[in-house]
């Protein structure tokens, strides 16, 4: 499936870490997207946690923020990237079911993780987005102390209305052993997902 024509004509990646001018207080918005010389643009931007210790990496139309990436018992990661849609975003109920089906089938034969909890629903803020929560339990416990290990994520998956074959996803991961779980993670993830905005011009 091809991208819309204007994306091919004169695209360039733009960094949206410019929401706050230099000298202003508060967290800055970051994101990914494409714009052309005629003023058309598509993208996703969001406000990451306002705390020290995060590193960032860009690769094409994706952005990854990481904290304690070297730890296998208490790390966090935020990903934002462009996607090709497997299902039209309208009706949103079909989009939600496609996401559920893809996740269930994707982990059905996994030798590393099994699904412990999965929730996907229409985002209450943005009708072209689905919001979800996925909790994976590692099949093998932590080798050092035999604690259970988990990979938890909250995510937003959005389809564009003007450029119907593409969209953007935002995922916030927390990977931890039982004793390293951040009890504030769900609320922190909610704030990050709530801050997301979509451009589709």
Burial 104-134 (b: 16+ CB within 10 A, else e): eeeeeeeeebeeeeeebebbeebebbbbbeb
Residue 152, CA distances (Å) to 19, 71, 135, 158 in order: 29, 15, 4, 20
- pTM across the whole model: 0.85
Q: Is 102 helix (H, G, I), strand (E, B) or coil?
A: helix
Per-residue pLDDT at 15: 44
DSSP state letter for 195:
T
Q: Is the pLDDT of residue 35 over 50?
A: yes
Per-residue pLDDT at 73: 66
129-138 vs 149-159, strand pairing mode: antiparallel
Per-residue pLDDT at 117: 98
The CB-based long-range contact list for 13-17 (8 Å cut-off, 24+ gap) reads 13/58, 13/60, 13/61, 14/41, 14/43, 15/58, 16/43, 16/45
The mean pLDDT of 182-186, rounded to a whole number, is 95
Domains of the chain, CATH where assigned: 49-195 (3.40.1000)
Q: How many C-beta atoms surround the C-beta of residue 72 within 10 A?
A: 16
How confident is the prediction for the chain on average, in pLDDT? 85
What is the tens place of the pLDDT at every residue in 7-33? 333 334 444 433 333 334 555 889 999
What is the tens place of the pLDDT at every residue in 92-132? 999 999 999 999 999 999 999 999 999 999 999 999 999 99
Query: Sorting pLDDT into bands at 50, 70 and 90, what band is 140?
Result: confident
The better pLDDT of the pair 1, 124 is held by 124
The mean pLDDT of 175-198, rounded to a whole number, is 95
Range with top average pLDDT, 9-13, 25-29, 35-39, 75-79? 75-79
Query: Sorting pLDDT into bands at 50, 70 and 90, what band is 48?
Result: very high
């Amino acid at each position: 499936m091809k991208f819309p024509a204007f994306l091919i004509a004169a695209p360039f990646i733009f960094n949206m870490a410019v929401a706050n001018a230099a000298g202003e207080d508060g967290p800055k918005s970051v994101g990914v997207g494409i714009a052309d010389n005629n003023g058309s643009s598509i993208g996703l931007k969001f406000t990451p946690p306002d705390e020290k210790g995060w590193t960032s990496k860009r690769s094409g139309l994706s952005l990854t923020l990481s904290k304690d990436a070297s730890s296998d018992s208490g790390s966090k990661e935020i990903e934002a990237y462009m996607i090709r849609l497997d299902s039209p975003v309208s009706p949103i109920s079909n989009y939600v079911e496609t996401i559920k089906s893809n996740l269930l089938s994707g982990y059905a034969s996994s030798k590393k993780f099994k699904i412990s909890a999965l929730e996907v629903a229409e985002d209450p803020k943005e009708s072209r987005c689905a919001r979800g929560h996925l909790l994976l339990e590692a099949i093998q416990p932590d080798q050092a102390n035999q604690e259970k290990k988990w990979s938890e994520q909250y995510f937003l998956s959005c389809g564009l209305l003007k450029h119907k074959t593409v969209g953007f996803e935002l995922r916030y991961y927390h990977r931890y052993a039982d004793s390293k779980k951040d009890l504030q993670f769900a609320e922190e993830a909610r704030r990050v997902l709530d801050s997301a905005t979509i451009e589709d011009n």
